[in-house]
Amino acid sequence: MKIENYFKFFSSNSFISSWQLHGFTFKMNVLTLLVFISTFMILPKTNADSDNLVFIINSDSSIERYAKIQSAFTATVKKPFLNLDLNGKWIDKTIIENAILDKKPDVIFCIGIRAYEIAYNLAEARNKIVFSSIINWKRLPKRQNVFGIANELSSAMELTTFSYFFPDIKRIGILYSKIHNEEWLDTTLKNAKDVNASIISKSILNPAQLESGLREILPAIDALWLVADPIVLSNKQAVNEIFNTCHRSKIPIFAYDKAYVDLEPLLTISPDIPTMGRQAAVMIHDLLILKEIPELAQIVAGSEIILNSKRVKEYNLKLNMNALNSVNRIIE
């Protein structure tokens, strides 16, 4: 996914393009809205109690990761499903509400924040909600029938990987905003002790403080850990400023998403997107069979590691050669 699409994913401001039911797609625009509604209302009613209907709401399938999650999900789930793609258009929410009331899905699978917001506000208490691909999911409004797949890998796993690849990198810097990542940072500070690493953090209140935050933190660190934070990563210009400043200062960057690979971070550890879709399908199966599961949100089971060997040489870093067996892709 290109960096431009990543910011589209970050904001995820999306509405409607098409419906799909068992492989059939109904395109909708303003001129066909009334025809669509009448067509939808005469679709054969599914017995949700026996067939466990799953209602998929995708915030925007034009975003690559959203499309991959849905593709892996639909290839894995063994239940009939109804699919709504919001796809960046305006929609009358009563259409979705009527669909929920009419079809009575047992589970609503939400891909992206916009889909979740709609489902959370419109779903009935009996409808279980499973979310995926939402940054900082812990900040979501939730109730007992909400479950999901975390968008981020665990900080313990990432720190262990950093230490395994580059044992001499001990001081890891993090720029963050308290409103979005204070709880995550508290957990990360504890995890860092397990790998004998030090976290040097700097919080910023708004994007205007990014430059001063970089000036303050860079002299004290061996590497910068780029984390998902909409205030730090407010736009493409901010991202370029971080990468350009670090490269000039010979400070390597650990990135959390392969959307940044073209900017040449030292190491990228990102969740495996298809795995997220498959995990969501298994979670829904467990919810329907077991009726309850022990975890509100599951950590992604798979990851993808990309190493930039050019940066290793440029920064004269000690690389644990045994770690290369874990790499999915090496950039020369």
Those residues with Cβ within 8 angstroms of residue 33's Cβ, 6 or more apart along the chain or in another chain: none
pLDDT bin (cut points 50, 70, 90) of residue 4 is: low
Asked whether the CA dihedral 256, 259, 262, 263 is positive or negative, the reply is negative
pLDDT bin (cut points 50, 70, 90) of residue 2 is: low
* pLDDT average, residue stretch 299-303: 89
Q: Residue 137 class from Cβ within 10 Å (0-12 exposed, 13-18 middle, 19+ buried)?
A: buried
Those residues with Cβ within 8 angstroms of residue 186's Cβ, 6 or more apart along the chain or in another chain: none
- Share of residues in the chain with pLDDT > 70 (%): 84
pLDDT over 50 at 40, yes or no: no
What does the pLDDT read at residue 306? Answer: 97
pLDDT over 80 at 33, yes or no: no
pLDDT over 60 at 294, yes or no: yes
- Angle, in degrees to the nearest 10, between helices 210-217 and 236-248: 20
Which uninterrupted H or E stretch holds 97? helix 93-103
Q: What CATH architecture applies to the domain 155-255+303-331?
A: 3-Layer(aba) Sandwich (3.40)
pLDDT bin (cut points 50, 70, 90) of residue 34 is: very low
Q: pLDDT (tens digit, 9 = 90+) per residue, 65-120?
A: 999 999 999 999 888 889 999 986 777 788 888 888 888 899 999 999 999 999 99
CA distance 210 to 184: 20
CA distance 135 to 143: 18
* pLDDT average, residue stretch 217-243: 96
- Share of residues in the chain with pLDDT > 90 (%): 62
Q: Where is pLDDT greater, at 233 or 5?
A: 233
State both tokens at 295: 């975890």
Q: Which of 4-8, 198-202, 206-210 is predicted least confidently?
A: 4-8
pLDDT bin (cut points 50, 70, 90) of residue 191 is: very high
Q: Where is pLDDT greater, at 5 or 106?
A: 106
What does the pLDDT read at residue 32? Answer: 32
The count of other CB atoms within 10 Å of the CB of residue 330 is: 13
pLDDT bin (cut points 50, 70, 90) of residue 36 is: very low
Q: Which amino acid, one-letter code, is at 29?
A: N
* pLDDT average, residue stretch 50-66: 88
Coil/strand/helix, residue 127: coil
pLDDT over 70 at 280, yes or no: yes
pLDDT over 70 at 23, yes or no: no
Coil/strand/helix, residue 175: strand
**Domain map of the chain by residue range?**
3-152+275-298, 155-255+303-331
* pLDDT average, residue stretch 246-266: 96
What does the pLDDT read at residue 18? Answer: 38
Q: What is the DSSP letter of 61?
A: T
Q: What φ, ψ does residue 245 adopt, rounded to 5°?
A: -65, -45
Q: Which of 76-80, 131-135, 136-140, 318-322 is predicted least confidently?
A: 136-140
What does the pLDDT read at residue 261? Answer: 95
Q: What CATH architecture applies to the domain 3-152+275-298?
A: 3-Layer(aba) Sandwich (3.40)
Q: What φ, ψ does residue 11 adopt, rounded to 5°?
A: -80, -35
Q: What is the DSSP letter of 22?
A: T
Cβ atoms of 306 and 261 closer than 8 Å: yes
The reply to whether domains 3-152+275-298 and 155-255+303-331 share a CATH topology is yes
Q: Where is pLDDT greater, at 159 or 143?
A: 159
Q: What end-to-end distance do the CA atoms of the chain give, in Å?
A: 20
pLDDT bin (cut points 50, 70, 90) of residue 13 is: very low
CB crowding 141-173: b at 16 or more within 10 Å, else e = ebeebbbbbbbbbebbebbebbbebbeebbebb
